[in-house]
């Protein structure tokens, strides 16, 4: 057990260096710069929300400030029914979106890579079981499934994140599996096998490093996808009822008569919030994809992953497996040489 | 070869459907000892003895009074007779009848979104690919960068606000008369089109951009193939190359993407139907969720999953038919 923890720890420590180098590569792209800057900005807003927001967004006490259009005191106006300051709500809403999106994205990367590597490397019954599970999750429409599960399991913050992870890992694990199938036959893995390394050791030290760039891409893209899904869920009034989120703001705007009374600021503001967050993470994902696969300047794969978290993006992102095998092998070979 | 593949593929779809069916049966039973508790949660002002009686009645009414495996068999048996169970609503209507009532309205939206999205998407995609690097292409790229990050329900709200409430071009809420007064005459059909305009438009925008981007990439990928170069070298006319060589081959990835996009379309439509108060399965699903009407929710889920399985199966088979190069068997 100790050895296992140690090797996992060493893996992440070494990856951390790699990730720093990788962020530099993303920064080198113009698109990457935009994405990284926007994400940093959003993180700062989320962390320092109480200092940035001029009013208390939870304060729904009877006010005289109902339905004010944007002005210097209320930058984005106020709500019609409760007179809450929309700018403050927008600032606080960043927290929910970022936490749900990023933590689901990271967890999806972990679950997807573990299951994908297992399916690809161990093969046999494990492989067919995991892949059949993917096929089943793929055909069940995502949003209705999320709604049913929140109904059965509850609507707490963490439960919602876990539900997103339980449904969202499928596409990534498929992609990782097909990459692993190629890596499995590469010379350095063969060499490790021949020198008597255990399966676990090979999976952690030789196969997993080869997929790490893919994991960064997946984290960015699935975070973006989950943010939209969370907004949709909150919009339907099925998110965490105690939190202020952008989706919930839109729902309040619709039910509070923003459409009817022409309070355009109440609709536009949360929409811009969602757009910014999603756009930022998408940019990073797209740049990483370009680094991975320079030949595809614009990818249809990204669009699909995003529109439907479950869709199989194997075929699209990895149109040409051999090209990726080369990239994978190159980066793993580097990882192997270091270790 | 092809026939055996088709049979295998059909059997596999049936297998997936059976698993989905089992999931459907077990999800409402997660975390409760007695399904009757899930279907009828205890109310505050009720004594234990009263609750026990109500649970007993619920068990009898919904067939929970037999063992779980027997319940599952009854459920599966019912499915084969087209019986999706009994809804929780007053009067205990069958789930199937409720769904069949709403199904056409949902299909009106999804089919027209899909067809219009495909037609416009492919057209725009082909134009962008032909004018690669020029303004048509860059506009598409910019549009798709922005559209990707805008959730469908936000677009729907904007359209409903500007076209529905401010300019009053289309109705922002579905006219209830659309359903009650429906008949096969001109006024009724026109009313459906008028009411469907905004929901379809808001779903269509995203799917047009998606299909256009996909088509553009597929066309460009084909343009780089050797056989296009050969066709050029043979001195074929440009239009012949364009329509007979490039487009035909570029259609293949688009055909497969249709099957996959159906699941996403259905999921997104739940929110859109809610915004426009459209009388479809999406609103039915949300109503069921609000009333904890599990038989109805699971019935809708099963039907939607069934549709998706069927769509993926059909596109897979079409793909094999269209592309003789596909070596059957390695697609899984």
Each residue's pLDDT tens digit, A190-219: 888 888 888 888 888 888 887 877 888 888
The average pLDDT across B93-120 equals 88
Query: Same domain, yes or no, for B170 and B76?
Result: no
Three-state secondary structure call for residue B86: strand
pLDDT grade for A334, boundaries at 50, 70 and 90: very low
Structural domain count, chain B: 2
Query: Same domain, yes or no, for B230 and B268?
Result: yes
pLDDT grade for B330, boundaries at 50, 70 and 90: very low
Rounded Cα gap, residues B67 and A10, in angstroms: 51
pLDDT digits 0-9 by tens, A1-10: 677 777 767 7
Q: What is chain B's Cα-based Rg?
A: 25
Contact A136 B38 (CB under 8 A): no
Query: Which burial class, exposed, middle or buried, applies to A81 when counting CB atoms under 10 A from its CB (0-12, 13-18, 19+)?
Result: middle
Query: Which burial class, exposed, middle or buried, applies to A166 when counting CB atoms under 10 A from its CB (0-12, 13-18, 19+)?
Result: middle
Residue in the block written with tokens 């075929």: A315
- CATH number, domain containing residue B212: 1.10.3720.10
pLDDT grade for A38, boundaries at 50, 70 and 90: very high
Q: Which residue has the higher pLDDT, A316 or B12?
A: B12
Query: DSSP letters of A69-133?
Result: PS-SSSTT-B-TTT--BHHHHHHHHHHHHHHHHHHHHHHHHHHHHHHHHHHHHH-HHHHHHHHHH
The CA distances from residue B187 to B107, B177, B201, in Å, are: 20, 11, 21
Question: Is B311 a domain residue?
Answer: no
CB proximity list for A152: less than 8 A, separation 6 or greater:
B27, B28, B30, B31, B38
Q: What's the pLDDT score for residue B331?
A: 44
Q: What is the pTM of this model?
A: 0.83
Question: Is B309 a domain residue?
Answer: no
Task: Write down the mean pLDDT value for chain A.
Answer: 78
Among chain A residues, CA nearest to B23: A136
Which of A39, A138, A259 should be substituted to probe chain B, the one whose Cβ sees the most B Cβ atoms within 10 Å?
A: A259
Closest-CA distance of chain A to residue B8, Å: 15
Rounded Cα gap, residues B275 and A245, in angstroms: 18
Contact B150 A275 (CB under 8 A): yes
CB proximity list for B213: less than 8 A, separation 6 or greater:
A298, A300, A303, B125, B140, B144
Highest-scoring range by mean pLDDT, A329-333, B142-146, B172-176, B285-289: B285-289
The CA distances from residue B94 to A60, A194, B78, B81, B305, in Å, are: 43, 63, 12, 13, 19
Residue of A131, A42, A137 lying closest to A93 (CA atoms): A42
Q: What's the pLDDT score for residue A328?
A: 35
Residue B130 has pLDDT above 70, yes or no: yes
Rounded Cα gap, residues B288 and B300, in angstroms: 10
Residue A302 has pLDDT above 90, yes or no: no
pLDDT > 90: percent of chain B: 7
Q: Which of A141, A238, A264 sits opposite B305 (nearest CB)?
A: A141
Q: What's the pLDDT score for residue A108?
A: 93
Query: Same domain, yes or no, for B227 and B144?
Result: yes
Query: DSSP letters of B167-218?
Result: S-SS-SS--THHHHT--SSHHHHHHHHHHHHHHHHHHHHHHHHHHHHHHHHH
pLDDT grade for A332, boundaries at 50, 70 and 90: very low
Query: Same domain, yes or no, for B152 and B224?
Result: yes
Closest-CA distance of chain B to residue A162, Å: 15
Residue A161 has pLDDT above 90, yes or no: yes
Question: Is B54 a domain residue?
Answer: yes
Question: Is B249 a domain residue?
Answer: yes
Q: What's the pLDDT score for residue A165?
A: 93
Least confident residue range of A105-114, A181-190, A307-316: A307-316
Tell me the residue range of the domain where B53 lies. 3-80
Rounded Cα gap, residues B59 and B86, in angstroms: 12
Residue in the block written with tokens 């999706």: B84
Please give the torsion angle defined by the CA atoms of residues B254, B258, B259 and B261, in that order, rounded to the nearest 10 degrees: 120
Question: Is B174 a domain residue?
Answer: yes
pLDDT grade for A339, boundaries at 50, 70 and 90: very low
What domains, with CATH codes, occur in chain A? 22-66+75-317 (1.10.3720.10)
Rounded Cα gap, residues B289 and B68, in angstroms: 24
Query: DSSP letters of A179-222?
Result: HHHHHHTSHHHHHHHHTT--HHHIIIIIIGGGGHHHHHHHHHHH
pLDDT > 70: percent of chain A: 81
Least confident residue range of A31-45, B37-51, B90-104, B164-178: B37-51
Question: Is B299 a domain residue?
Answer: no
Residue of A294, A35, A307 lying closest to B214 (CA atoms): A307
pLDDT digits 0-9 by tens, B223-261: 888 888 888 888 888 888 888 888 888 887 787 777 767
Query: Same domain, yes or no, for B76 and B103?
Result: no
A95 CA to centre of own chain: 15
Q: Give the ipTM.
A: 0.86
Q: What's the pLDDT score for residue B294?
A: 85
The average pLDDT across A99-117 equals 92
CB proximity list for A164: less than 8 A, separation 6 or greater:
A100, A104, A108, A146, A226, A229, A230
Q: Across B240-314, where does the E strand assignment appear?
A: none
Query: Same domain, yes or no, for B75 and B15?
Result: yes
Query: Same domain, yes or no, for B121 and B219?
Result: yes
Q: Contact at 8 Å (CB) between B306 and B23? A: no
Contacts 24+ apart (CB under 8 A), B95-101: B95/B295, B95/B296, B95/B299, B96/B299, B98/B284, B98/B296, B99/B281, B99/B284, B99/B296, B99/B299, B99/B300, B99/B303
Rounded Cα gap, residues B123 and B207, in angstroms: 13
Rounded Cα gap, residues B313 and B259, in angstroms: 8
Contact B154 A250 (CB under 8 A): yes
Question: Is B94 a domain residue?
Answer: no
Closest-CA distance of chain B to residue A10, Å: 35
The average pLDDT across B130-151 equals 84
Query: Same domain, yes or no, for B127 and B185?
Result: yes
Query: Same domain, yes or no, for B21 and B142?
Result: no
pLDDT digits 0-9 by tens, B143-182: 888 887 888 889 998 888 888 887 888 887 887 777 777 7
Q: What's the pLDDT score for residue B172?
A: 79
Q: Contact at 8 Å (CB) between B222 and B249? A: yes
Contact B308 A275 (CB under 8 A): no
Among chain A residues, CA nearest to B141: A298
Query: Same domain, yes or no, for B138 and B69?
Result: no
pLDDT grade for B82, boundaries at 50, 70 and 90: confident
pLDDT digits 0-9 by tens, A77-101: 777 777 778 888 888 889 888 999 9
Query: Same domain, yes or no, for B275 and B170?
Result: yes
Query: Same domain, yes or no, for B40 and B123?
Result: no
Residue A237, Ramachandran bin (φ over 0: left; ψ between -120 and 50: alpha; else beta): left
Question: Is B277 a domain residue?
Answer: yes
pLDDT digits 0-9 by tens, A246-291: 988 888 888 877 777 777 888 888 899 999 999 999 888 888 877 7
Closest-CA distance of chain B to residue A309, Å: 8
Among chain B residues, CA nearest to A268: B158
Between A and B, how many CB-CB pairs are < 8 A?
172
């Amino acid at each position: 057990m100790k050895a296992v923890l140690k090797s996992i720890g060493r893996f992440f420590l070494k990856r951390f260096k790699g990730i720093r180098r990788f962020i530099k590569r993303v920064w080198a792209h113009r698109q990457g710069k935009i994405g990284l800057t926007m994400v940093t900005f959003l993180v700062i807003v989320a962390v320092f929300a109480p200092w940035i927001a001029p009013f208390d967004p939870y304060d729904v006490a009877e006010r005289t400030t109902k339905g004010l259009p944007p002005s210097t005191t209320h930058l984005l106006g106020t709500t019609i029914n409760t007179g809450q300051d929309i700018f403050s709500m927008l600032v606080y809403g960043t927290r929910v979106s970022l936490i749900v999106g990023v933590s689901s994205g990271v967890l999806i990367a972990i679950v997807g890579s573990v299951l994908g590597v297992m399916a690809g490397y161990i093969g046999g019954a494990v492989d067919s079981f995991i892949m059949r599970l993917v096929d089943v999750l793929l055909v069940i429409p995502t949003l209705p499934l999320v709604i049913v599960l929140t109904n059965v399991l509850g609507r707490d913050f963490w439960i919602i994140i876990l539900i997103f992870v339980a449904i969202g890992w499928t596409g990534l694990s498929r992609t990782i599996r097909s990459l692993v199938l190629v890596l499995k036959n590469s010379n350095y893995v063969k060499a490790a096998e021949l020198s008597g390394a255990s399966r676990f050791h090979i999976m952690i030290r030789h196969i997993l490093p080869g997929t790490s760039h893919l994991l960064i891409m997946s984290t960015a893209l699935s975070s973006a996808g989950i943010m939209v899904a969370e907004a949709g869920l909150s919009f339907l009034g099925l998110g965490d009822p105690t939190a202020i989120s952008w989706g919930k703001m839109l729902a309040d705007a619709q039910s509070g008569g923003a459409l009817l009374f022409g309070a355009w600021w109440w609709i536009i503001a949360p929409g811009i919030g969602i757009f910014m967050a999603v756009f930022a993470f998408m940019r990073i994902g797209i740049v990483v994809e370009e680094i991975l696969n320079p030949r595809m300047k614009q990818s249809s794969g990204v669009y699909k992953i995003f529109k439907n978290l479950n869709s199989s993006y194997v075929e699209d992102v990895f149109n040409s497996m051999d090209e990726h095998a080369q990239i994978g092998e190159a980066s793993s070979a580097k990882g192997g040489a270091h270790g | 070869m092809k026939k055996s593949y088709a049979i295998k593929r059909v059997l596999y779809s049936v297998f997936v459907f059976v698993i989905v069916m089992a999931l459907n049966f077990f999800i409402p039973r997660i975390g409760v000892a007695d399904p009757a508790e899930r279907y009828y949660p205890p109310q505050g002002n009720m004594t234990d003895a009263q609750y026990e009686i109500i649970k007993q009645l619920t068990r009898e009414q919904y067939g929970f009074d037999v063992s779980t495996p027997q319940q599952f068999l009854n459920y599966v048996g019912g499915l084969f007779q087209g019986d999706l169970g009994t809804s929780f609503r007053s009067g205990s209507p069958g789930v199937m009848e409720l769904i069949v009532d709403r199904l056409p309205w949902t299909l009106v939206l999804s089919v027209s979104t899909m067809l219009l999205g495909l037609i416009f998407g492919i057209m725009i995609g082909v134009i962008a690919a032909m004018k690669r690097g020029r303004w048509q292409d860059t506009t598409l790229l910019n549009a798709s960068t922005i559209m990707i990050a805008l959730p469908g329900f936000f677009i729907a709200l904007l359209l409903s606000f500007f076209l529905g409430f401010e300019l009053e071009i289309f109705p922002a809420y579905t006219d209830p008369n659309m359903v009650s007064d429906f008949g096969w005459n001109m006024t009724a059909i026109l009313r459906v089109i008028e009411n469907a305009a905004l929901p379809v438009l808001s779903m269509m925008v995203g799917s047009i951009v998606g299909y256009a981007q996909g088509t553009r990439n597929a066309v460009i990928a084909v343009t780089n193939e050797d056989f296009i170069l050969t066709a050029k070298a043979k001195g074929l006319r440009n239009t012949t190359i364009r329509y007979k060589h490039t487009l035909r081959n570029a259609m293949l990835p688009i055909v497969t993407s249709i099957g996959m996009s159906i699941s996403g379309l259905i999921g997104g439509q739940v929110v859109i139907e809610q915004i426009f108060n459209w009388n479809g399965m999406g609103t039915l699903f949300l109503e069921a969720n609000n009333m904890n009407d599990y038989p109805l929710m699971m019935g809708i889920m099963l039907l939607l999953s069934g549709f998706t399985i069927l769509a993926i199966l059909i596109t897979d088979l079409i793909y094999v038919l269209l592309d003789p190069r596909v070596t059957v068997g390695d697609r899984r």
